[in-house]
Amino acid sequence: MFNKKTDAKELTKKLFFKRKNAWDSIDEKKIKELNKYSEEYMKFLNDSKTEREVIKNAIDYLIPYGFKDINKTKENDKVFYNHFGKALGIFRKGKKDITDGLNIIVAHVDSPRLDLKQHPLYEDEELVMMKTHYYGGIKKYQWLSRPLAMHGVVVFPNDKVKNIVIGEDENEPVFTISDLLPHLAKKAQMGKKASEFIPGEKLNIICGSMPFSDDTEVKERFKLNIMEMLNDKYGIKEEDFISADIEIVPAGKAREIGFDRSLVGGYGQDDRVCTFGAMKSIVDAKEIDKSALVLLMDKEEIGSDGATGSNSVFLEMVVGEILEKQGITNVNALTKILASADCLSSDVNAATHPDWKEVHEKKNAAYLNAGMVLSKFTGSRGKAGSNEANAEFVAKLRRIFDDNNIVWHISELGKVDEGGGGTIAKFMAYYGMNVIDAGVPVLDMHAPFEVTSKADIWMMYNGFVAFLCD
Ligand code: MN
Ligand code: MN
């Protein structure tokens, strides 16, 4: 009727944005690579349930590819910097000098969990229990009535270290936190708010119920029995828990989800999905012009504070060491390099939940299978507590990802007034560098069993490689 010359459908295609589904861009050949990748990733998840295990397995992964401990080598082209076994910097020299640019990917290796208290062990009603203090943002009820494993280290005053892993092998026992039966929960739980019906002090794990002897005169004979077993197996006394990092995590392996096996379910995917992708991409990227740095950081789930968190001078420690090895002594070099770096703060995003759409704003939400997901800013309620990536940097990434056929989208974490979350991005932005959040959408984030899509995790890995190769 308006006598337009262009076909409406054609024009729509040309002008409108349409979100892609990553599976539509994956052919037979790619599916094989994708399956291999997700298999390897799931194995990494199974073997890496604490921040210490992630760092140890990352180092074991890097060494065969020629990466060396920066403190034990004179070389400076492929090195890693290990801090307390909880944070790791992985550096690979590009064809150009580090002063000509640095590409950084940073991910975090800690996940929500329950930590044993320093005096954990006690006996109550002839059951032996251990007290915990939760770490990170958890919905406490999700940790009840399920098999739990114990992972950690005990460090003795003579510096000897004992590793403890119980509950992952089928033949090993597990632990559990017992919930209250529904028959008796009416007053104690059912009328209360979800944030209140499981007090933190009731997150105590059951770890035994047999007495040491039938001499009922012996005080705490049930606790004594467990203490004797621990002493036999690990050489520990009750006092040794004081100098231990012991974490309670969901027992069991990551699994494929769905008839079509298209999804990955498992503990700690926030943010080990990005950790694995970042670690693999710095090894696999073929020719890199600019130098690359992957940072695997601890303490993100509690605000990135602490010696191994991103709100520390770890980045300066790592890059400073590399500069010294490369003979760059200009006092301004470090500041300049960091200020001109490009950084992907690689962390997960909230996938739109089909049953809880009301918390998302659908035009600007993340979706499972829509590929890698970027967030221009994080924070909450009016962008508070976030950095925001410049349009120029976003434009550069559009070019990189589109040129390399990476399926990706961009999202905000939830509706404007709904909530939100911070990440490592702002601590990187502190140095003046370009930084943006880049990860994959996750369903049920922070739950003991988180869900990701195989298509997304593979797209993200390829996105990382493309970023490092640019
Ligand atoms: Mn995270
Ligand atoms: Mn998290």
pLDDT of residue 245: 98
pLDDT one-digit tens code per residue, 181-194: 999 999 999 999 98
What's the 72 CA to ligand 2 centre distance in angstroms? 33
pLDDT digits (tens, 9 = 90+) for 428-441: 999 999 999 999 99
A 10 A CB-CB count for 356 gives 10
* pTM score: 0.96
Which tokens in the block code for residue 75? 């070389």
| Span from the CA of 284 to the centroid of ligand 2 (angstroms) | 26
* CA 171 to centroid of ligand 1, rounded, Å: 32
For the chain, the maximum distance between any two Cα atoms, rounded to a whole number of angstroms, is: 100
> How far does residue 200's CA lie from ligand 2's centre (Å)?
19
In sequence order, the β-bridge partners of residue 104 are 293, 343
CA 314–ligand 1 middle distance (angstroms): 19
Which residues, in sequence order, are CB contacts of 242 under 8 Å at separation 6+? 118, 119
CA of 379 to the centre of ligand 2 (A): 13
User: Could you tell me the distance, in angstroms and rounded to a whole number, from the CA of residue 422 to the centre of ligand 2?
Assistant: 9
Give me the half-sphere count of Cα atoms (radius 13 Å) on the Cβ side of residue 144.
14
Instruction: Please give the backbone phi and psi of residue 23, each rounded to the nearest 5 degrees, phi first.
Output: -60, -30
Res 422: pLDDT: 73
Residues 6+ positions from 80 with CB-CB distance below 8 Å: 58, 59, 62, 67, 68, 69, 70, 88, 89, 90, 91
Name the amino acid, one letter, at 243.
Answer: S
Q: How many angstroms separate the alpha carbon of residue 424 from the centre of ligand 2?
A: 11
Sorted by sequence, the CB contacts under 8 Å of residue 222 that are 6+ apart come out as 123, 126, 127, 128, 208, 209, 210, 211, 212
Residue 292 near residue 91 (C-beta atoms within 8 A): yes
Residues, the chain, total? 470
User: What are the structure tokens assigned to 207, written together?
Assistant: 């770890």
**Distance between CA atoms of 372 and 25, rounded to whole angstroms?**
13
Ligand 2 center from residue 285 Cα (angstroms): 27
> 111 CA to middle of ligand 2, Å?
7
What is the distance between the alpha carbons of residues 193 and 52, in angstroms, rounded to a whole number?
A: 35
Amino acid present at 220: E
The single-letter code of the amino acid at 441 is P
Cα 108 to averaged position of ligand 2 atoms, centre (Å): 9
Q: Give pLDDT, residue 1.
A: 66
CA of 161 relative to ligand 2 center, distance in Å: 29
**Could you give all domains of the chain from N- to C-terminal order, each with its CATH number?**
10-111+267-469 (3.40.630.10), 113-250 (2.30.250.10)
Could you tell me how far CA 180 lies from the centroid of its own chain?
31
Segments of the chain with pLDDT less than 70: 1
